[in-house]
Structure 1
Amino acid sequence: MAEIQNPNQQGGGGGGFDSRTILAFSAVFLLIFLGMQYFKPKTPPASGHAATQQQKSSAPAAQSQTAATSDAGTAAPASSSQAAAPEANAVQAAAESETVIENELYRITFSNRGAEVKSWILKKYKNDDGKPLDLVNAANAAKYGFPLSLHVYDEGLQSRLNQAMYVPSATGRVNTPGTLSFKYSAGGLQVKKTFTFDSSYVIHAEVTATRQGAPLTAALAWPAGFGDQNTLPQYAASMIDTAKNGDVDQIKPKKVSGGATEQGPFQWAGVSDLYFAAIFLPDEAENTSLVTLHNTIDLPRDPKHPESGQVEHASVLGAGIGGTAATFSTRLFVGPKSLDVLESVNTHGGPSLEKAVTFGWWGWVAKPMFLLTRFFYDHGVRNWGWAILVLTFLLNIAMMPTRFQMMKSSLKMQRIQPEMDVIKAKYAKYKATDPRRQEMNKEMFDLQKREGINMFGGCLPMLLQYPLIYGFYRMLENVIELRQAHWLWLPDLSAPDPLHILPVFFIGSMFLVQFFTPSPGMDRSQQRMMAFMMPAIFGFMMWNVGSGLALYWAGSNIIGVGQQLVINRTSMGREMRALAAKRAAKKQGKIVNARR
């Protein structure tokens, strides 16, 4: 809002709102803003699980083969002819094949190798290259596992389960609503996966796994993040989402232990990043367990110059869910973290999936602001940039009384400033540590009280603006609707302006706010300092934030300029300008006399 930058509430001292007060507020604002950026995890620490993975990759292939043979409960073959003889009741495919499931929302490609998903394309969303977004991160999945693979703690057995050639119930294309199943049986292992699809983002999965006839505890997993993750901030935004006994928790990467198991009951649990989620909703919350997966990859510290060789570790989160019985069933939501979409998912009495969208402490401001913006978008605006500007206009109109309150408070302070100066001169001979200084403060307070002046009247309205700014910041950072949303030259309202036109415009508009705002509590040197320093500070902050926020704030400045021009034509505005001129003339006279 424009009020945040206005030095129009300054008093000459003693409870007034002078330049030092404004600088203090600006410093606090800047520290909070930079603190949010600093404490936002950007370089998650490498997990201990990464070392385990390195050890695993260096293990000889013969060891894995031995483990697989041991898991099957079979002895070493007596001869090569016996080894070549097929198992009588084995169920396994001779060759790899693919099956595609498609509806209006997604296109899923299954491979019968491991009965896993190789591609999960969301048709309504694009990647950075403008192509349909594939939620399977192929590079990470090749290292750490593809979606709907099985997770067990025995590496050899897990490799066998996820490399086995399952027999699919269908190949080619399967229409929705429909069902696809995979079977595998060999060496004492029997596994069946059945998936059911409809027209929504939710699928149903049932897994039956036994070894030597006994239940095999295996978790159905989404192991390796998402396909929209390319940069360190995108990986750092991932988290594990859980709803356990009605309580929702979101675990950041630095707190996720790779391979850890947590017992339920879970209404839902899964993994998400800033805009997309894969969340399991078990058919029976009781006797469920959640496996958290945490691996790491190396990314260039500067994506624009990867040849520098400088890399940082990025966390790749995954999750799996399973039960204790031989057969486990669950629904699985894989899709956008859109409030409407998440709200439509039936959680069978559990917390709404809406809670997977993170607004943080400012949710009480951010969510209503988003709902208002979406209302304008849905009812005629049809562009998120213009919807933001409509909201900006209405918020500034609603907050206009605070602008008047700030100016009234400043004007009252200027009217009694001569009396305040007399009181200060009366006690000027005493040191700051002298107890009689308390008497001065009491006299000044009594004077303000007698004149009906609230010493906080000038700064409290300014403080009311901060929740709106931070709430809008949190909203823009978390709602998928603004991802890749265009406005004029801006290709993505959730990302910084690539041409930096908006930050420059913001700096210019803020300078105009300072220029047109009367400042009777400042001399001209202070006014010049504030006129240039304040736009520079806040312009720096706007340089690399989401362009939607910069649009909101620049729009507030322009509206603030218009409001100030109107106020300047009122009697209050004319009186403030007269006081400012009188004060400037008085100070100039003192300077001239001092020089003589």
Structure 2
Amino acid sequence: MENSRNIILVVVLSMALLLGWDAAMNYFYPQPDEPVVAAETAAPSGDGAEVQHSRTGGLTDPAALKQEAADLETALASPDRVRIDSPKVAGSINLTGAVVDDVVLKDYAETTDKDSGPVRLFSPRGTPAQHFAQLGFIVNGQKLPDATVWQADGELLTVDKPVTLTHDAGNGLELQLRYAIDENYMVTVEQSIANRSAVPAVVQPFGLVSRTSDTASADFFIAHSGPIGVFGDSANYDTDYGDLDDDGPVSPQGRAEWLGFTDIYWLSALVPQDGSAPDATFRALGGNAYRADMIYDPVTVPAGRKYTTTSRLYAGAKDSTILDAYQDAGLAQFGLAIDWGWFRWFEKPLLWLLKTLFDLVGNFGVAIICLTIIVRGVMFPIAQKQFSSMASMKAIQPRMKAIQEKYKDDRLQQQQEMQKLFREEKVNPLAGCLPLILQIPIFFALYKVLYLAIEMRHRNFLWIEDLSAPDPATILNLFGLLPFTPPSFLAIGVLAVLLGVTMWLTFKLNPSAMDPVQQQVFAIMPWVLMFIMAPFAAGLLLYWVTSNILTLAQQKYLYSKHPQLKAAAEKEKAEKAAEAAKAKG
């Protein structure tokens, strides 16, 4: 009767865990009612309606997507634009206001559809997906009107061809913005003011990045979305869009090395001039619009003199190799634009190994399988020691029981005698836990790599089009043949089922003796984990399934090498079963 109650309790707790997990996933990963289509970016919602954020960001409202496409067609048709064409970036600079408001990333498609266009990072002011940057001047306490039209000395900005914008501000003041772009995603802007008047002028160069949060990726505990920067050599992931709404402007402590906004895969950031210490502030503008400001200290430009400040703008992908290269070139902690967390010393080599394997085999799914084999191969000697220790523990079991019986009233003496026995027989009772302990950081590191690394985005394997996203082949709708979408906690993919089956087989193969309640727990656990892990990245499930299959092979081999361990466990299991049957009788 007691066992029955315990089993019922286990089932109830398991169901509570499933439902609680589903609620948590809906909170952290809210899904739009309509599928995200291949249009580009997102829309500010001025009506106060709550915006649904997808895992990777972008617009989710069909009406906003339609409006965005129409607005882009109108805004980008203006002749007052300087085109951008570099190896990784295309777009344009709006001469009205000198605004960089049109950026698409050539190397990344918006969706996995074959006819998908490139990812759009920047959209003009006033469009549903507005996201733009501006570098300019405050002259004698006044900012130039946004309607100011600048003159360009060229029609195309390329790696080999900088472009200079000029504006006559009157009173003998000429303003210049010289744009240069590198082969990646960094734009360098020289902000110059020439004072040809007879009196000094006070100037403050500034930079800003403005965007709507409607296109933001979902903010998760391992993937920050929102304001970001390095201040005083420390990366700041503490502020989100809601904080700016609730608390007002935020000016982090410490010198700003760089600041801007991040999504899971994209970054727009301002980099001040080396050695400068501009004021840096994040603020909410209302209507789901936000801004990152970088304002230099006022400088007095004497008559007949010219003053120049050099700032930079990064608008592109969070490719770890590119970010680290800028960091190595002197841009402080730029690699921390990816929130690797405490395990980055381990995650980055893991990513390097995955990329190296991909270069060798040509498919990231196969690379994950190869990585799993390498990890299990490295840990195999530890597993051998584990089984050897387990065999030794079984051999000394009668002596352990004798010590427990002899010193049952003296726990301290019992412990001392046990330790003495372990030393004499050279047995480590904790050896069985070591493989599991070592697997935990590997599993978590791979989880973060698959979730955060843009290298995993849109990588396919068999039926899976994106290993960084959940398995799309769900069982309940017959892999999409039936016209309905299962609720998230029932959207069990093929890999999740394989995970449950392979874990159940590993438990069945392990002959360790357990009481009936433990047996029930271990019987239910694989299927509970099947539900829990289903929404995770398909690449992570592929790793775990492969690991379970290798564990099965490893157990078969090691039990063949230690038959006494299996025999002793089977004997103990039979004895416990007999005792249970006797107790029922």
The DSSP-based 3-state class of the residue aligned with 1:410 is: helix
Equivalent residue, structure 2, for 1:420:
400
1:206 and 2:199 matched: no
Q: Select 1:181's aligned residue among 164, 185, 192.
A: 164
User: CA–CA distance in 2 between the matches of 1:587 and 1:153?
Assistant: 87
Amino acid at match of 1:119: D
SS of corresponding position for 2:101: strand
Q: 1:217 aligns with which of 190, 204, 218?
A: 204
Post-superposition Cα deviations, 1:535-559, rounded to whole Å, max 9, x if no partner, equal 1343233111111111111110111
| 2-structure distance, mates of 1:595, 1:243 | 68
The CA deviation at 1:107 is 0.9
Q: Contact 2:91–2:104 at 8 Å: present in 1 too?
A: yes
Q: CA deviation at 1:240?
A: 1.4
For 1:167, the equivalent position in structure 2 comes to 151
Secondary structure, counterpart of 1:495 in structure 2: coil
Q: Normalising by structure 1, what TM-score?
A: 0.71
Aligned to 1:292: 282
The question of 1:362 aligning with 2:353 is answered no
Amino acid at match of 1:163: A
114, 117, 134: which is aligned to 1:148?
134
Letter in 2 for 1:136: F
Q: Does residue 551 in structure 1 map to residue 509 in structure 2?
A: no
Which residue of 155, 176, 182 maps to 1:192?
176
Superposition map of 1:115-130 within 5 A: 115-128=98-111, 130=116
> Whole-Å Cα distance in 1 between the matches of residues 327 and 250 of structure 2?
28
Name the SS of the counterpart of 1:162 in structure 2: coil
Any residues of structure 2 matched to 1:3-18 within 5 Å, and which? none
Q: Deviations over 1:86-114 (max 9, x none)?
A: xxxxxxxxx97222121221112122221
SS of 1:135 mapped into structure 2: strand
In the TM superposition, what is the alpha-carbon distance from 1:286 to its structure 2 partner?
A: 2.5
Query: CA separation of 1:200/1:289 partners in 2, compared to 1, >3 Å: closer, same or farther?
Result: same
SS at match of 1:161: coil
CA distance in 2, matches of 1:488, 1:134: 28
Among 497, 500, 513, the residue aligned to 1:504 = 497
Name the amino acid aligned to 2:390.
S
- Give how far 1:206 is off: 1.9
Instruction: Work out which of the residue numbers 329, 352, 365 in structure 1 matches 2:310.
Output: 329
How big is each residue's C-alpha offset from its partner over 1:10-44, in whole Å with a ceiling of 9 and x where there is no partner? Answer: xxxxxxxxxxxxx9xxx9xx9xxx8xx89x9889x
Contact kept in structure 1, 2:259 and 2:270, CA below 8 Å: yes
How far has the Cα of 1:371 moved from its partner? 0.8
Pair 1:581-2:573 in alignment: no
Tell whether the 8 Å contact from 1:503 to 1:539 is kept in structure 2 after alignment: yes
What percent of counterpart residues are identical?
25
Aligned equivalents of 1:203, 1:149: Cα separation in 2: 11
User: 1:57 — aligned with what?
Assistant: none
Q: Equivalent of 2:266, from 243, 252, 276?
A: 276
Match of residue 37 from structure 2 = none
Q: CA RMSD in A?
A: 4.2
Distance 1:225 1:408, change over 3 A: farther
Match of 2:42 in 1: none
Distance 1:284 1:452 in 2: 61
2:301 is equivalent to residue 320 of structure 1: no
Partners of 2:469 and 2:419 in 1: how far apart?
48
Alpha-carbon separation, structure 1, partners of 2:267 and 2:188: 16
SS of 1:163 mapped into structure 2: coil
Q: How many residues align?
A: 490
Q: Which consecutive residues of structure 1, in runs of 5 or more, have no partner in the other structure?
A: 1-22, 44-52, 55-94, 299-314, 431-435
Match of 2:441 among 444, 458, 467: 467
Q: Give the Cα separation in 2 of the matches to 1:393 and 1:242.
A: 38
Alpha-carbon shift at residue 369 of structure 1 (Å): 0.7
Displacement after TM superposition at 1:324 (Å): 3.5
Alignment of 1:239-254 (within 5 A): 239-242=227-230, 244=232, 247-254=233-240
Q: Which residue of 1 aligns with 2:509?
A: 516
Structure 1 residues 196 and 227: CA distance shift in structure 2, 3 A: farther
Matched to 1:582, the amino acid is: K
CA contact (8 A) 2:28 2:219 kept: no
Is the CA contact 1:122–1:135 (under 8 Å) kept in the aligned structure 2? yes
Call closer, same or farther: CA 1:147–1:456 in 2, change over 3 Å.
same
> How big is each residue's C-alpha offset from its partner over 1:24-69, in whole Å with a ceiling of 9 and x where there is no partner?
xxx9xx9xxx8xx89x9889xxxxxxxxx99xxxxxxxxxxxxxxx
Whether contact under 8 Å (1:263, 1:289) holds in the other structure is no
Q: Using the alignment, how far apart are the partners of 2:528 and 2:399 within structure 1? A: 35
Q: Distance in 2 between matches of 1:550 and 1:583?
A: 34
Aligned twin of 1:382:
362
How far did 1:214 drift? 2.3
Q: Distance in 2 between matches of 1:297 and 1:555?
A: 47
Residue-by-residue CA offset, 1:473-517 (whole Å, 9 max, x unaligned): 121222110112111111211111122111111111111111122
Q: Indicate conservation of the 8 Å contact 1:113/1:163, yes or no.
A: yes
Hey, what does 2:479 align to over in structure 1?
none
- Do 1:240 and 1:250's aligned partners in 2 also have CA atoms closer than 8 Å? yes
**Could you say which structure has the greater relative contact order, defined with CA pairs below 8 angstroms and 6 or more residues apart?**
1
Give the structure with higher Rg (CA): 1
- Deviation, structure 1 residue 284: 3.1
Structure 1 residue matching 2:211: 3-state secondary structure: coil
Equivalent position amino acid for 2:208 in 1: A
Indicate the SS of the match to 1:494: coil
CA distance, structure 2, for counterparts of residue 383 and residue 537 of structure 1:
30
Unaligned runs of 5+ in 2: 1-9, 31-44, 47-77, 300-306, 474-492
Paired residue for 1:14? none
Match of 2:54 in 1: none
- The Cα of 1:527 is off from its aligned counterpart by 6.3
